[in-house]
Amino acid sequence: MLVKVEKLTKSFGGLTAIDDVDLDIEKGKITAIIGPNGAGKSTFFNLISGFHPPSTGRIVFNNHDITKLAPNKVAELGIGRTFQTTNLFAQASVLDNVMIGHRLRTKSGLLDAILRTKREKREEKECLEKAIEALDFVGVSHLSYQPVALISQEAQKRVAFALALATSPELVLLDEPAAGVNPDETDGLAELIEKMAHNGITVCLIEHKMQMIMNLADKIMVLNHGKKIAEGTPKQISNHEEVIEAYLGGSKNAKTS
């Protein structure tokens, strides 16, 4: 098992956003997290990636206890992530965005940068190579020198993936990777997510687009009011009574494309 989440709980004041959740994430597989708005999905990602300390519970990644680690330490150990709103620098080029993202996660300190140490130069070269490789993998290397502001929403999503991949993570957490793109583009992004898994990258994603999830996920966890109400294959989930009631039952509201 790549990730073991045990009895994870996070409270914000009186609100329990994640309530006693267990989850195993299997290596090389695609695990999806679904649930209504406010169910705690993003909070769950924030806990795994070290952005919030859990109130109680434990997170083990690759046999390391990462429960209390800071985000940069978690990234260093091999967890990459994207955010719900693509946080790119609009005026900077695609390549610079990915390089900046990589630099923020690599080790040279300010002193190395000022003194232009050997280590700093080596890391800079490695950073450029990784960024080029990641942009090629996600299929936007032809846009490398375009400012982010001028590329499509779908291309921006791909750049956000490249940013998460530039540190060669073993696990990527994708927060609503297909939000705001049309059905054709959604298919393209789903293919890219499958390509990641085929290349041995373990994927965990949050997504509202049910059809995409049903086709893509090996396993789905359903959250409602911070609690895990179901876990299983897409087929098991689509037949699960409590899920249908809490979420899919509102299928008039659930986006199906």
By beta-carbon proximity to ligand ATP, the closer residue of 37 and 63 is 37
In whole angstroms, the minimum distance from the beta carbon of 156 to ligand ATP comes to 19
In whole angstroms, the minimum distance from the beta carbon of 25 to ligand ATP comes to 18
In whole angstroms, the minimum distance from the beta carbon of 33 to ligand ATP comes to 8
φ/ψ (deg, to 5) at 178:
-110, 15
Rounded distance between C-alpha atoms, residue 36 and residue 19, angstroms: 15
Residue for token digits 């009186």? 14
By beta-carbon proximity to ligand ATP, the closer residue of 155 and 160 is 160
Angle at 24 between CA 20 and CA 28, to 5 degrees: 150
- Footprint of ligand ATP on this chain (CB under 6 A)? 12, 15, 17, 35, 37-43
By beta-carbon proximity to ligand ATP, the closer residue of 41 and 158 is 41
Rounded distance between C-alpha atoms, residue 138 and residue 166, angstroms: 11
By beta-carbon proximity to ligand ATP, the closer residue of 34 and 216 is 34
Rounded distance between C-alpha atoms, residue 172 and residue 185, angstroms: 20
One-letter amino acid at 165 equals L
In whole angstroms, the minimum distance from the beta carbon of 11 to ligand ATP comes to 9
Tokens of 175: 């927060």
Packing angle between helix 153-165 and helix 118-138, nearest 10 degrees? 140
By beta-carbon proximity to ligand ATP, the closer residue of 132 and 214 is 214
In whole angstroms, the minimum distance from the beta carbon of 67 to ligand ATP comes to 18
Rounded distance between C-alpha atoms, residue 60 and residue 215, angstroms: 28
Residue for token digits 């690759």? 62
In whole angstroms, the minimum distance from the beta carbon of 212 to ligand ATP comes to 15
One-letter amino acid at 60 equals V
By beta-carbon proximity to ligand ATP, the closer residue of 15 and 113 is 15
